[in-house]
């Protein structure tokens, strides 16, 4: 099989978190009884007038600024005509030639979905435009129902340049985009609630060829994992056709997640003509620089900036920083604790290995976690100060996770403080030596590793509380003497 260069561009729809819909005052909520969040405007009754939601416009511009987009001073809405049961007006209010955001970019780096290191690069964003979502069709056996609660919900479409070169890069781009939207409070991007939806455009070309190959558009991708799988499936399918000397047709294909394959939905000949024209019921959007600058000042710290800060200020590896910024709440948790402890790298290790395991085992979110960043930082400082050892810290951590008590209180109540007093440890060391004559013999014959065995014995006798450094020192003094 010949090797081809993979070219991928993504079109991602993101629902904007607002109180009301895009052009009416109906609530923007998920999961309500079907057709209870509707009014004449979002139901497309004749003669009604749309009123734009300024919060949705602001959030779209914020999203654009976070992706380094230009924000043109003049933008407008257009009608996209089409006929389908999910759209009562038979046109969708969208944006065509003058969207709110143009020419942005999103940075990807770190470890990809498959675990290997990604190239450090920017994926271009062509545009972000604002539109209204359409109704949801629910297919129940042989009948279908239409739920208009979703019709008119503010929706952004983020169109990327064809800059991705693998399934891993597409996955990383989606992860980065989702993080930006979440950090900015633009959307929760919960794919199970349809808050983020993704179409994939993919083509192959021989390495070195300048022109792009014929692109195939993939729809119905319900998770990032599905995107990853579908891309790899298409790479194999298209390679095979090209190898056989076939010419690809431009087509739209669906993804069947159960079968793990794509299937033909329609060819280019069946493509719609949307007959876009300016929406006559809405004023164009004019933005002066002052307003855009004001929005710029409202921007939160972005995941990428946070990762760089974590590496520079707290001595983390890029991988630690990648894991800890996965979710905004987790990043804020770490940042809060790291400011309190003298060992922010140790804190990162505890969060990544112990806290995240604990959360996934208990099914808790970081915000509801009983272990506060203050408590975890305090526990790490206790380890550093020698008040408890690492083994006891595991017990303290488990107790913090179940009771939410501060570590000092747990150590005091359970008598877990590390014993660093020679007078208390010497008898235990002597007891261990007296009870293990064969091991003493082995040590004296030159087997240094036996020391670890003795450390284990003394720790057991102290019920884990002896200071391990002190134990080693005392053991050596006696064994060598």
Give me the residues that bind Zn ion (CB under 5 A), please: 24, 26, 39, 41-42
- Is residue 9 near ligand ADP by the rule CB under 6 A? yes
5 lies in the binding site for ligand ADP (CB under 6 A)? no
152 contacts 22 by C-beta, under 8 angstroms: yes
Select from 2-10, 167-175, 332-340, 428-436 the region that touches ligand ADP (CB under 6 A). Answer: 2-10
Q: Which stretch in 93-101, 195-203, 219-227, 358-366 sits in contact with ligand ADP by CB under 6 A?
A: 195-203
Which of 9-17, 65-73, 374-382, 459-467 is the region at the interface with ligand ADP (rule: CB under 6 A)?
A: 9-17
Per partner kind, with CB cut-offs from 5 to 8 A, the member of ligand ADP, Zn ion, none near residue 26 is Zn ion
Residue 154 and residue 58 in contact, taking contact as beta carbons nearer than 8 Å: no
Q: Interacting stretch for ligand ADP, rule CB under 6 A, among 157-165, 338-346, 391-399, 434-442?
A: 157-165
Cβ-contact 183, 191 below 8 angstroms = no
CA separation for the pair 165, 238 (Å, rounded): 15
Query: Residue 10: CB partners within 8 Å, gap ≥ 6?
Result: 158, 159, 160, 164, 170, 173, 174, 198, 199, 200, 201
- Which positions from 161 through 190 interact with ligand ADP, judged by CB under 6 A? 161-162
Using CB under 6 A as the binding rule, whether residue 82 contacts ligand ADP is answered as: no
DSSP one-letter string for 86-112: T-TTSEEEE--SS-SEEEEEEEE-SB-
Question: Collapsing DSSP states into helix, strand and coil, what is residue 149?
Answer: coil
Q: Is 204 in the site for ligand ADP (CB under 6 A)?
A: no
Distance in angstroms (rounded) separating the CA atoms of residues 166 and 228: 9
Q: Which does 29 bind (CB under 5 to 8 A by kind): ligand ADP, Zn ion, none?
A: none
**Nearest distance from C-beta of residue 74 to ligand ADP, angstroms:** 21
Site for ligand ADP, residues 402 to 421, rule: CB under 6 A? none
Burial of 288 (0-12, 13-18, 19+ CB in 10 A): exposed
462 binds ligand ADP (CB under 6 A): no
Closest distance between ligand ADP and the C-beta of residue 86, in Å? Answer: 19
Which of the choices Zn ion, ligand ADP, none does residue 7 contact, using the CB cut-off of 5 to 8 A by kind? ligand ADP
Binding residue for ligand ADP, selected from 58, 136, 215, 291, defined by CB under 6 A = 215
Q: How far is the CB of 21 from Zn ion (least distance, A)?
A: 5
Task: Find the binder of ligand ADP among 15, 28, 95, 160 (CB under 6 A).
Answer: 160
Contact between 8 and ligand ADP by CB under 6 A: the answer reads: yes
CB 159 within 8 A of CB 168: no
Tell me the C-alpha distance between 387 and 290, whole Å: 55
Separation between Cα atoms, residue 189 and residue 194, nearest integer Å:
8
Q: Does 7 bind ligand ADP (CB under 6 A)?
A: yes
Q: Of the ranges 156-164, 184-192, 289-297, 452-460, which one interacts with ligand ADP (CB under 6 A)?
A: 156-164
Q: How far is the CB of 22 from Zn ion (least distance, A)?
A: 9
Of 167, 176, 186, 202, which one interacts with ligand ADP (CB under 6 A)? 202
Q: Minimal distance in Å, beta carbon 210 to ligand ADP?
A: 12
11-50: contacts with ligand ADP (CB under 6 A)? 11
Measured from the CB of residue 271, what is the shortest distance to ligand ADP in angstroms? 8
Encoded tokens for 108: 């990807």
- Report the candidate in 437, 435, 418 with the shortest Cα–Cα distance to residue 427: 435
3-state secondary structure of 337: helix
DSSP 164: B
3-class DSSP state of 59 = helix
The span from the CA of 155 to the CA of 77, in Å, is 13
Tell me which residue has its CB nearest to ligand ADP. Answer: 9
Measure the CA–CA gap between 150 and 285, rounded to whole angstroms.
Answer: 24
How many C-beta neighbours within 10 Å does residue 409 have? 13
Taken in order 235, 236, 241, 244, the sign of the CA dihedral is positive
What residues does 261 pair with on adjacent strands?
A: 256
159 counts as binding ligand ADP under rule CB under 6 A: yes
> Quick check: 439 binds ligand ADP (CB under 6 A)?
no
Pick what 24 binds: Zn ion, ligand ADP, none; C-beta below 5 to 8 Å, kind-dependent.
Zn ion
CA distance 376 to 324: 15
Residue 221 interacts with ligand ADP (CB under 6 A)? no
DSSP helix/strand/coil, 403: helix
Q: Which stretch binds ligand ADP (CB under 6 A): 4-12, 83-91, 98-106, 411-419?
A: 4-12
CA distance 43 to 26: 11
**Residue among 12 and 26 whose Cβ is closer to Zn ion:** 26
CB of 54 to Zn ion, least distance (A): 16
Q: By CB under 6 A, name the binding residues for ligand ADP.
A: 7-11, 159-162, 201-203, 212, 215
């Amino acid at each position: 099989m010949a090797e081809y260069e993979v070219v991928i561009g993504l079109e991602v729809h993101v629902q904007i978190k607002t109180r009301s819909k895009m052009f009416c005052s109906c609530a923007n909520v998920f999961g309500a009884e079907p057709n209870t969040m509707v009014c004449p405007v979002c139901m497309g009754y004749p003669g009604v007038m749309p009123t734009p939601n300024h919060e949705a416009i602001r959030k779209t511009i914020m999203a654009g600024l976070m992706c380094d987009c230009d924000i043109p001073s003049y933008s407008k809405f257009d009608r996209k005509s089409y006929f389908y049961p999910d759209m009562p007006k038979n046109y969708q209010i969208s944006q065509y030639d003058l969207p709110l955001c143009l020419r942005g970019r999103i940075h990807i780096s770190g470890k990809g979905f498959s675990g290997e290191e990604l190239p450090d690069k920017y994926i271009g964003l062509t545009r972000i435009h604002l539109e209204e979502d359409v109704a949801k069709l629910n297919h129940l056996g042989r009948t279908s129902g239409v739920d208009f609660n979703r019709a008119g919900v503010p929706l952004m479409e983020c169109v990327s340049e064809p800059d991705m070169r693998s399934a891993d890069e597409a996955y990383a781009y989606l992860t980065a985009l989702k993080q930006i939207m979440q950090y900015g409070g633009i959307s929760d991007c919960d794919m199970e609630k349809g808050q983020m939806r993704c179409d994939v455009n993919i083509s192959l070309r021989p390495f070195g060829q300048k022109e792009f190959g014929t692109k195939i558009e993939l729809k119905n991708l319900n998770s990032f994992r599905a995107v990853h799988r579908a891309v790899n499936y298409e790479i194999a399918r298209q390679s095979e056709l090209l190898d056989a000397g076939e010419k690809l047709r431009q087509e739209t294909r669906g993804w069947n997640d159960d079968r793990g394959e794509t299937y033909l939905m329609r060819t280019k000949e069946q493509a719609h003509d949307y007959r876009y024209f300016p929406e006559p019921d809405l004023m164009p959007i004019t933005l002066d620089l002052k307003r855009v600058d004001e929005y710029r000042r409202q921007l939160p710290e972005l995941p990428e900036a946070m990762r760089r800060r974590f590496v520079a200020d707290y001595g983390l590896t890029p991988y630690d920083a990648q894991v800890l910024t996965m979710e905004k709440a987790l990043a804020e948790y770490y940042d809060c604790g790291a400011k309190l402890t003298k060992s922010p790298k140790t804190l990162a290790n505890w969060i990544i290995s112990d806290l995240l395991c604990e959360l996934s085992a208990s099914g808790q979110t970081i915000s509801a976690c009983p272990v506060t960043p203050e408590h975890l930082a305090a526990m790490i400082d206790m380890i550093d100060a020698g008040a408890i050892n690492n083994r006891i810290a595991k017990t303290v951590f488990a107790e913090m996770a179940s009771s939410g008590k501060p570590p000092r209180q747990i150590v005091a109540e359970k008598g877990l403080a590390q014993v660093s007093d020679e007078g208390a440890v010497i008898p235990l060391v002597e007891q261990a030596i007296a009870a293990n004559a064969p091991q003493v013999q082995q040590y004296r014959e030159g087997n240094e590793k036996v020391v670890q065995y003795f450390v284990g014995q003394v720790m057991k006798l102290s019920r884990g509380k002896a200071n391990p450094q002190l134990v080693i020192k005392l053991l050596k003094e006696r064994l060598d003497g």
